[in-house]
Amino acid sequence: MSSITPPSSPPSPTMSMGSIHGGRPALPDCPLQEQPPRRLRVMIVDDNSINLAILSRMLECNFADTVHLTAVMSSGPAALERLCIDNVDLILMDIDMPVLTGIQTTEAIRHSASTEYLILEQNRKVPIIAVTTSDSPAEQEIYRQVGMADCVSKPIALPKLRLAIEQAVGLPSTSELATG
């Protein structure tokens, strides 16, 4: 019968339970800590600095738990350049902008293979919400045809913005949570 000999050296400190728990001793009855949910990376595109400030502030004050304001862009071309290097989860897009309108910018995002911009793959399908005063039913249909998820009218009504964001990114609506 062969005998088992103990190792000649103690276990490596990199293999100790303390190292697994960041140097703290393991607590067997400790519940796992849940990671906070990842906040949405949002880009705002508007040529008007006052509109950018208002919308940024609305997001910071009313959506701090779900939104991380990633980028505030003052033109369509600036937004397209940023979408070539940074992923976002949602875009809030003004429609009436010089150089490239919100419609043209959305078309460039959706069909970036035919433009000079190499939009990151994830960004080509990102939900885009029009934020505009041009919100007639006919105009809203055009926005949908170019690939926008929704339209929020200016001046912005917070409940409409919240609903548009929830629907665009597939979050449960706050009204469903309140009744659910």
Greater pLDDT, 14 or 126: 126
pLDDT of 35: 59
Residue 155: per-residue pLDDT: 94
Q: What is the pLDDT of residues 120-178, one digit of tens each?
A: 999 999 999 999 999 999 999 999 999 999 999 999 999 999 999 999 998 776 655 44
Q: What pLDDT is stored for residue 32 in this prediction?
A: 56
pLDDT of residue 13: 45
Looking at the chain, how many residues does it have? 180
DSSP reduced 3-state for 153? strand
Q: What is the DSSP string of 114-169?
A: GSS----HHHHT--EEEEES---HHHHHHHHHHT--EEEESSPPHHHHHHHHHHHH
Residue 167: the pLDDT is 95
Q: Is the pLDDT of residue 24 over 50?
A: no
141 vs 135: CA distance, rounded Å: 9
What does the pLDDT look like over 28-68, one tens digit per residue? 555 555 656 679 999 999 999 999 999 999 999 999 999 99
Please report the domains of the chain, with CATH numbers, ordered by start residue: 40-171 (3.40.50.2300)
This prediction has a pTM of 0.76
Helix (H) or strand (E) holding 22: none
Pairing of β 90-93 and β 150-153: unpaired
pLDDT class for 19, splitting at 50, 70, 90?
Answer: very low
Res 14 pLDDT > 70: no
Q: What is the DSSP string of 32-44?
A: PPPPPPPPEEEEE
Where do we find the tokens 């728990």? Answer: 21
